[in-house]
Amino acid sequence: MPRPARDTLNMRIRPEDRSLFDWAAKAQGKTRTDFILEAARRAAEEALLDRTVIRVDAAAYADFLARLDAPPTPDARLGRTMRGRAPWE
């Protein structure tokens, strides 16, 4: 038996929150469901990415640190960047 394209998630919310979600969804041309799902998905991904652990052996880590500590290799692109005006100026 094939699974449905979507499953149901029920939750209790305050009326003012529902109104806020509705206004925001309408402003973006989305349904309430799509708006909330997109926001919840983004929050879930961010929460999980904050807990990502990358493991490497000692040699790879030493190489990584050496590259961070090494001065940048000058090239045309770096030169243009350094001569350019900072966006906040």
Q: What is the pLDDT along the chain (89 residues), one digit of tens a residue?
A: 776 687 888 999 999 999 999 999 999 999 999 999 999 999 999 999 888 888 999 999 999 999 999 988 888 988 888 888 888 88
Q: For residues 45 and 39, is the Cβ–Cβ distance under 8 A?
A: no
Tokens of 80: 């243009």
Residue-level pLDDT at 10 = 92
Computed from CA positions of residues 50, 56, 61, 64, in that sequence, does the dihedral angle turn out positive or negative? negative
b (16+ CB within 10 A) / e for 4-25: eeeeeeeeeeeeeeeeebeeeb
What is the pTM for the complete model shown? 0.54
Report pLDDT for 4. Answer: 67
Residue 55: DSSP 8-state: -
pLDDT for the residue 25: 97
